[in-house]
Structure 1
């Protein structure tokens, strides 16, 4: 029976361009998807743009345009960016699609039917000047836990999850006036009633999670699970399917996190297959890939929602949560003007190089620092001087001295054992979400190949000892083929190029492959070009028509 793998990549918020922190957090999902497909598993890999909520509506008011126009712009930009970086989503969608809205409304009806939604009237911040209730992102105030200035949803300083009426000394973001408290009616999700089930889920699965995910989840549980508002006072978002709430919309924490399942349902529906059979199968392994600031939404909130919707739905097995990426050891922020977008990277570097660097320097367990100097050094050392050089000097020599004719396959047991061990080691690391170490192992195999070539010195053998030359060259061609195959989840375009050089066809597999000895080398080109630091321009970036 095929392995069944579900991979949910976090839904970036469609209010600004993707930056390098987004890329570092989301890229592990594509590595997982490509690896498991290569292994022969049945894979579903989904994501989309989070298009609703207050930040978009606030920005739309400033620009005097519709929230939909902003969301559509960034959703398309995100799609283009992910395509340019070779992300292999089965579906990249958006929360503003009619399909998502209709299906998430059915989810909320089912959760209500199961008894986990109730109505509550409460005090809510109200701006007398603007004549409107203030949602969490429409106010600022003081965090009741650490005392830092915060929005009403989550304190960026201590990461405590908040609600608008918890913030001390609330002020309206639009006019700056102090808010007063007025009564307002909302729907609530009874998360507190699921404390036991969520605690059991965390205890059962935390060994598969990174330590920060365990720490944040444990901290959240110790504080005690609180019921969460399901509705908010907005006119942009998913409509509430119950009478009396026509002036409100679903909170994005509810509808966006369930987007994994509306997207999965859409994929399976188009294939004529049953998504719910797939996602309730105990053999389905589930990965969720996101940044540090989204941990509790995937380890606490999502499991609670799934328990309320249908306890048979498979919950997250692996939480692939990344830390932050800093710029030159300084925290990136839009206000500081030091935010490096993915568009800037694509204007300067090849997409394969970008994928390699942000996995080799991935913030898996601690924050990492991005600098152009480090990027250029890694690119030139690992890809140009390591991988590219090994391939080029072998194939160019054969093209020049032997008219591109490849020797018969004659691979030594030692070389084959080294490669087979690499498949096992790297595969195990990828499955556990330890992608950074997996990439280090890939580079170790490249270094092994270069050392073998240098020590064997085939350029001294080709005239005086042709059998020995053929043996060494066969080993090197085998290494080239399998380095391409092993790094295919990380460098898919490069792998395809190398396999074409060597005449390798057939189904993908996570196992040793061999070059085609009947293939004559033709049109051999270098895999990677050297980058000069002076040619890098971080100011290169496509114009953002909504920049304000």
Structure 2
């Protein structure tokens, strides 16, 4: 039995629709890797979920006129899944915490095991409280300034610097619902100390593939002393805690996600060794994936009743991390409604055009910024450069080869040089598509370069038809371009799946072929080739 490869994308919070920043982040990038590996013949499982139990869900309900959290989660959960389908992000499993009948019990069993083993402990510490709302404040219910970087932050974690906080250590804490200053009251909660796992985390960080920004965060937190993380909050929203004395509290949603991932890992663990996932997420979620989840898995694996078995914890092999994607200089934000909504953009922009743009502009290692003008330039590039070349090619075949693939094979020094260059290009493309070297920006640039090489080749060799004896060389040049088009139908499929499938259909070649130099072979002689009626990649 072949070993299943597991790719994850961090679950979004259903407190609003997906925006363009989400699409530039984990979801399309993970889909690119999945499609690449499937084309290689791998058994791949690509999973995500919906983060129903985030406190941002009921807080959105409060802001939307008192709607219940369940109404918000269901409304936006359906919208999010619809956008994934429209954009071509194909998941093998989407965990819906409130709909999966096994989910709550699985989380509670995991939490209880760690408590029984002494990894989760009770602590009495200050927690902000709003007297007007009569509510304990944490996560989305609370805002103030981060104790580490000074940026505006909600409770429990700071998006700009990625560091956790303990809520009470925020400067000038206030209630997000009413804006009143919070008062600090002692509250007994359950905590998960990270320090006991410091050496194991060090060893894990040495072997996992992750970017320097995240590595710096991990090492800085380790050097300053790993904190204890509150893993329960007094609340009515989320998975109830089963520990006696704390049954009025709910499991911290980010700690809840660890056993949520574990559920999917167990479904992938059909062979030995069990799969080490490749995880896609934004930097603001980095501490959870690189510290909190691994520590939780290590704690669970150390217990005698762990269901993980001898294969151990599902520690990832690679983290693929994006920075913030900005809009008009500010971070895209669902909660602040500063966004261009993906479903609205997909109603006016073909999925492949949007995929090409956000992947070429992916905030990899640095923040980037979306503008409608830049998106329009991407649309024009696909329409004029990619589709323009294909239209000229198919038209020439119709006029000079009776609408069928020519019998002549590509040959000559120019073709040999083009073939050699494209062979080098596809080697680089495979690296950009791979988990170890994943770089969607580079992949799109290489695809654009492939088309540019074909465009130049086509223009140069169009003059063959003007030679008195140029019919055969002209048809060989068309055959060469058809070979590049055939390769493009395979090579572009992870980024532009809809257009790649259309192109494969026009050429009469199989879709979903392996991304390698062998794809540089045109359709069989005599294959009917109709001029496309609309844009292949821009339509």
Same fold per superposition (TM over 0.5): yes
The Cα shift of 1:34 comes to 0.4
Which residue is equivalent to 1:218?
A: 219
| 1:517 counterpart = 2:531 | no
Which residue is equivalent to 1:193?
A: 196
Q: Check conservation: 1:213, 1:319, Cα contact below 8 A.
A: no
**132 and 378 in structure 1: CA distance in 2 versus 1, 3 angstrom threshold:** closer
> Structure 2: 5+ residue runs without aligned partners?
303-311
**Partners of 2:422 and 2:262 in 1: CA distance:** 38
1:240-389 counterparts in 2 under 5 A? 240-265=241-266, 268=267, 275-278=268-271, 281=273, 284-310=275-301, 312-333=312-333, 338-381=338-381, 383-389=382-388
Q: Check conservation: 1:4, 1:285, Cα contact below 8 A.
A: no
TM-score normalized by the length of structure 2 = 0.89
**Partners of 2:13 and 2:476 in 1: CA distance:** 54
Residue range with higher mean Cα deviation, 352-361 or 323-332: 323-332
**463 and 119 in structure 1: CA distance in 2 versus 1, 3 angstrom threshold:** farther
Which residue is equivalent to 1:541?
A: none
Report the secondary structure of 2:355's partner residue.
Answer: helix
**Partners of 1:463 and 1:29 in 2: CA distance:** 52
- Deviation per CA, 1:140-160: give whole Å up to 9, x if none: 334333444432222345443
Report the secondary structure of 2:389's partner residue.
Answer: helix
Residue range with higher mean Cα deviation, 239-248 or 432-441: 239-248
Q: 1:94 aligns with which of 93, 96, 100?
A: 96
Q: Check conservation: 1:328, 1:369, Cα contact below 8 A.
A: yes
The Cα shift of 1:334 comes to 6.5
**Partners of 2:177 and 2:260 in 1: CA distance:** 30
Q: 2:184 aligns with which of 181, 186, 191?
A: 181
TM-score normalized by the length of structure 1 = 0.87
**Partners of 1:214 and 1:120 in 2: CA distance:** 29
**Partners of 1:308 and 1:256 in 2: CA distance:** 15
Q: Check conservation: 2:502, 2:536, Cα contact below 8 A.
A: no
- Deviation per CA, 1:277-318: give whole Å up to 9, x if none: 45x726x35211111211111111121122112272232222
Q: 1:527 aligns with which of 513, 523, 535?
A: 535
Aligned residues: 518
| 1:144 counterpart = 2:147 | yes
**Partners of 2:284 and 2:89 in 1: CA distance:** 22
The Cα shift of 1:459 comes to 6.4
Residue range with higher mean Cα deviation, 402-411 or 83-92: 402-411
**Partners of 2:107 and 2:176 in 1: CA distance:** 30
Which residue is equivalent to 1:393?
A: 392
**Partners of 1:213 and 1:411 in 2: CA distance:** 48
**Partners of 1:3 and 1:510 in 2: CA distance:** 21
- Deviation per CA, 1:215-247: give whole Å up to 9, x if none: 222222223211211111111211223333321
Residue range with higher mean Cα deviation, 480-489 or 287-296: 287-296
Q: Check conservation: 1:287, 1:316, Cα contact below 8 A.
A: yes
Report the secondary structure of 2:56's partner residue.
Answer: helix
1:454-469 counterparts in 2 under 5 A? 454-457=459-462, 460=465, 464-469=469-474
Which residue is equivalent to 1:37?
A: 38
> Structure 1: 5+ residue runs without aligned partners?
269-274, 532-548
- Deviation per CA, 1:324-348: give whole Å up to 9, x if none: 2222445445698652121232122
Which residue is equivalent to 1:28?
A: 29
Q: Aligned-residue CA RMSD in angstroms?
A: 2.6
**Partners of 1:228 and 1:499 in 2: CA distance:** 52
**480 and 224 in structure 1: CA distance in 2 versus 1, 3 angstrom threshold:** same
Q: Check conservation: 2:265, 2:314, Cα contact below 8 A.
A: no
Which residue is equivalent to 2:15?
A: 15
1:393-412 counterparts in 2 under 5 A? 393-408=392-407, 410-412=409-411
Which residue is equivalent to 1:538?
A: none
Q: Check conservation: 1:104, 1:262, Cα contact below 8 A.
A: no
Which residue is equivalent to 1:122?
A: 125
Which residue is equivalent to 1:499?
A: 504
**Partners of 1:3 and 1:427 in 2: CA distance:** 21
**Partners of 1:182 and 1:530 in 2: CA distance:** 58
**408 and 113 in structure 1: CA distance in 2 versus 1, 3 angstrom threshold:** farther
Q: Check conservation: 1:118, 1:189, Cα contact below 8 A.
A: yes
Report the secondary structure of 2:326's partner residue.
Answer: strand
**Partners of 2:464 and 2:98 in 1: CA distance:** 61
